[in-house]
Amino acid sequence: MRQTIRLIAVLMLAVFMAGCAMTVPPTPRHLITIKGPCVGKMDCTFWGECTPRKGMCFATSSADCRKSEACLQYGRCVLKEGNCAM
């Protein structure tokens, strides 16, 4: 009986973990209005590098920085020398 309960528990955990691994994290609300090839990439979401140029993504204004997770979490909300900084 205990082996059956353990087996059921392990199977339920496996199904739960498989479901968690298959979910895609949602795009933060402050990035939904941004469009282009950089959206959804870590460079855009976290670092504010959402403007495409020559196949790469760059932060081109403090507005880009203010929309980033780096701004929300670490105060890196101002563009300085091409990077979001404090």
Distance of CA 73 to the CA centre of its chain: 13
Task: Give the model confidence (pLDDT) of 46-81 as tens digits.
Answer: 888 888 888 888 899 999 899 889 999 999 999 999
Q: Is residue 38 predicted with pLDDT exceeding 70? A: yes
Question: By percentage, how much of the chain surpasses pLDDT 90?
Answer: 19
Residue 10 or 74, more confident: 74
Residue 35 or 64, more confident: 64
**10 in a domain, yes or no?**
no
pTM over 0.85: no
Number of domains in the chain: 1
**Which structural domain range is residue 79 located in?**
26-85
- Distances in whole angstroms, Cα of residue 83 to Cα of each of 19, 36, 43, 46, 59: 37, 20, 11, 12, 6
**80 in a domain, yes or no?**
yes
Query: Looking at residue 67, what is its pLDDT?
Result: 87
Mean pLDDT of 5-13: 70
**19 in a domain, yes or no?**
no
Q: Is residue 14 predicted with pLDDT exceeding 80? A: no
